[in-house]
Chains A and B, each alone.
Chain A
Amino acid sequence: MIRGKWLRLGVTLAPLCATPVWAINPDNGPGCGLGKLAWSDYRNQKSIAPQVMMATTNGTFGSQTFGISSGTSGCTNDGTIMAEEKVNVFAAANYDTLSQEMAQGGGEYLASLAELMGIPDEHRAEFFALAQVQYASLVQSGDRTPATMLTVLHRGMETHPNFATLTAH
């Protein structure tokens, strides 16, 4: 047993699989704290060679947010995202890719957003086209937050006959 441990010690200092290095900010506002969900402290790959010797991690761990059967915390319930926060969390976590796909008029993330927003498959193409048009408004708003992105999309949908019912509330 002792021998096994020493062998393990000697193998290499690098562990065999990932340990967390980023964090979702702890929720500190009402609901999910839209916009606070950020990719904080993600260690970029600039300084690399020293990292082999100094295996540092500077993030905290997202297991509290997504811990299984962990009760309610912020926007999650037993590790799954609360229904009313799904769109917000998705938009916050994928802001960059979503803006890119809005400008391109389609893609995996935009399709998934449409799914979360309850847009039926047959209207997906129209939603993509609308999102592309709305990209200009997103840029004009000058505000780089997921909340603005969703507002801009909603504003486009309100004036569209196929989507007006989805946004009426």
Chain B
Amino acid sequence: MLCFFTDTAKAHADDYLQELIQRANAAALYDQRYWHLLLHYRRTIAGGYESEADEAGFFLAPNGKTDSKAELQATLARFFSTELVGRSRQPARCAFIARYHWLKAALAIDESRLPPEPCERFHAWLRELNPASITLVFPSAYMNNPSSMFGHLLLRIDQRGQTEQTRILAYTVNYSADVTTDNGLVFAVLGVAGGFKGYFSTHPYYVKAKEYGDFENRDIWEYRLNLTEDQVERLLMHTWEMGNASFDYFFFKENCAYQILSLLDVADPDLHLTDRFWLYTFPSDGVRMIAEKPGLVKEIIFRPSRSTKIRRGRQVLSGDEKMWLGKIVADPSLAQSEPFTIMPPERQARVLDVASDYLLYRVATEGNDATSYQERNKAVLIARSKLKAPSVPVAPTPVTGPPEQGHNVMRAGLGLGWHEGEFFNEVNFRLAFHDLFDPEYGYTPDAQIEAMDVALRHYARSDHTRLERFTLVNIVSLSPMDALFKSPSWKVSTGLETIEHNQCRFCRIGNLNTGIGAAAESFWSKREVYFGFAELASEYGRVFNSNYRLGGGATLGTLVDITERWKVGVSGTYLQFPLGEKSHEWRVSAQQRYALHKNFAVRFEFNQRARTQEYLLNLHAYF
């Protein structure tokens, strides 16, 4: 009897499944954009579709990665089973709850014929997240870690009843690579070629705020998004599904920014955020796209890193208080002795708060000496705990504009120049990202990362066209030092260039240059930065006797922001080459840039190398 009953039930279920599959096929649901977004299908060059997800358990059909129709049918079939699927081991309707909800609505699935699955794990998770809205979080660039040079992107799930003070308790949605190697070269190769697996995770925001703000000293920009309750729910249902997925992590395109944007596309398919990317996805481009959508961003909040907090805190101190700050971080016992303790408690508190932030900054960045700073911080805090004065938060003024207000990352230029008595025209193109003379607003100051920069020149009199320069990569990180901050500056560059040498007028050479140095800043005009580098240089080319020269030298220079738009810089380099072709060389460069608009600038430069001189006027457009 029982057997007969279940057989009938099964027959009914089979009928209903066949009916649903027919209706789904008739409506061609497998071709619909939302189905493609949920399964991360992208059009292939051959014209078909392939999912970017790379874990078999994310698909319910064996060929689901490449066949959206088979996947949809298999998905419907599994909805009729309580068998556990996916990495998360749940019934299909819970493991892939966003798919279920979409199909249920699209096919008007009758719950009396397919009784609902309770999905207790999902609902407990959702209750725990307590979602009210979504914030896009952009930790800005961190030059001292190659994996963070362009910033990062994650989402924060803001909770109901959350305040400015308790937002650190909210969970985030973060996508990152599971790095499985310690070897730098292997890391780079695997990272570029998609050799790591990327996973989504939900760290509390206080973990992320600490990692970026306290350890890496990266300022954070938060974009509170205007999403409806339904959109937030769709996003979270899909996030839950991501617990079954992994992706091959490609540093340049399928990276954190791309995957985070793909979640927002699921929340609101009309955003079309991931459609536009073809070669690479910069986190700052992601922010730019979000900021450009009318009405999507409700509010922008700046969260200063610890080092920014220290700098701002120090700015509001009087000369006297600054003197105390210097003394106390070196010898905290002074904080409890007579001349300091007779100051009003508010002023003492102001000094001690910056002192403690600074000592914690040293604890986080020092490694070996951390204990000594830890002890000093404790002594400062003992003195602080005796003061009943409240800490007055310093206005968190950012050091640069929000990322979406910076120039676009690609650059093209048209130039006109004069080289040793001959006029030339130049066209140049740079794939990415920013150099020290590009308009700075929205970018980390004093940080240059150029990749794939090409310049072609046509010389008028001799009527010939040459590749003037190809820069593979050119990175400069200047860190102005002062009484408290003492990070070194560094640079590295490699590429091809054209030089005049040994009676060869236009000779192509390859170069590799790296340097370590120091920088300082002053504020006479708007801002001036001074820098010096000790450097190693190697150059390769047939123009040299024995085909190369290897040596070292020094560079000194200064950069002056005269106004927001106008920047001037001068630098001089002396290099001595004791290996290969024994030689030495002086180089001098003077440049100025005027920003016409965030995406247009003119630049005029003078360069002298050995005895060759040239002048160049360039118009740059960023797009």
Contacts and interface: CB of A to CB of B under 8 A. Distances in A.
Interface of A: 1, 4-5, 7-22, 24, 39, 42-46, 48-49, 51-59, 61-63, 65-71, 77-81, 89-90, 93-94, 96-97, 99-100, 102-109, 111-112, 115-116, 132-133, 135-136, 139
Interface string B116-127: 000001101100
Contacts of A100: 356-357, 360, 377, 381
B146 interface: yes
6 contacts: A16-B281, A19-B147, A61-B199, A63-B178, A81-B204, A139-B378
A78 B188 CA distance: 31
Interface string B349-366: 100010011001001111
Contacts of A71: 88-89
Contact of B176 (A4, A19, A24): A19
Contacts of A112: 165-166, 168-169, 206
B180 to A, nearest CB: 9
B283 interface: yes
Contacts of B214: 97
Given A16-B281, A44-B365, A22 B215 contact: yes
B160 to A, nearest CB: 13
A19 B191 contact: yes
A129 B451 CA distance: 53
Interface in B313-342: none
B503 interface: no
A39 B146 contact: no
A15 B147 contact: yes
A69 B206 contact: no
B187 interface: yes
B305 to A, nearest CB: 12
B148 A18 contact: yes
Given A13-B188, A14-B449, A55-B147, A46 B367 contact: yes
Interface stretch (B15-23, B455-463, B487-495): B487-495
Interface residues of chain B: helix, strand, loop or mixed (majority)? mixed
Given A69-B125, A93-B207, A5 B193 contact: yes
Contacts of B199: 61, 63, 67
Interface stretch (B4-12, B384-392, B435-443, B542-550): B384-392
A17 B153 contact: yes
B473 interface: yes
A15 B255 contact: yes
Given A13-B473, A18-B176, A48-B488, A68 B200 contact: yes
Nearest to A5: B193
List the 3 closest pairs (A to B, CB-CB), nearest first: A15-B251, A69-B243, A54-B184
Contacts of A18: 139, 142, 145, 147-148, 152, 176, 256
B391 A9 contact: no
A162 B279 CA distance: 60
A112 B475 CA distance: 40
B244 interface: yes
B129 interface: yes
Nearest to B363: A96
Interface in B121-174: 121-122, 124-125, 128-129, 139, 142-153, 163-166, 168-169, 171
A103 B179 CA distance: 39
A63 B201 contact: yes
Given A16-B251, A80-B129, A94-B206, A10 B452 contact: yes
Contacts of A58: 182
Nearest to A89: B204
A80 B255 CA distance: 24
A17 B203 CA distance: 17
A70 B257 CA distance: 23
Given A12-B473, A17-B255, A55-B187, A135 B381 contact: yes
A86 B9 CA distance: 45
A68 B188 contact: no
A104 B125 contact: no
Given A8-B280, A68-B200, A80-B128, A57 B176 contact: no
A104 B353 contact: yes
Nearest to B148: A18
Contacts of A94: 206, 210
Contacts of B90: 69
Given A17-B257, A22-B211, A11 B88 contact: no
B253 interface: yes
B121 to A, nearest CB: 6
Contacts of B282: 16
A52 B516 contact: no
A58 B146 CA distance: 14
B283 A17 contact: yes
Contacts of B28: none
B202 A49 contact: no
A159 to B, nearest CB: 18
Nearest to A90: B206
A75 to B, nearest CB: 12
Nearest to A132: B385
A109 to B, nearest CB: 7
B431 interface: yes
B267 to A, nearest CB: 16
A66 B147 contact: no
B204 A103 contact: no
A97 B88 CA distance: 35
Contacts of A46: 365-367
Most chain B CB inside 10 Å of its own CB: which residue of A1, A55, A69, A135: A69
Given A68-B239, A111-B166, A49 B451 contact: no
Contact of A14 (B45, B147, B183, B381): B147
A45 B365 contact: yes
A111 B256 CA distance: 31
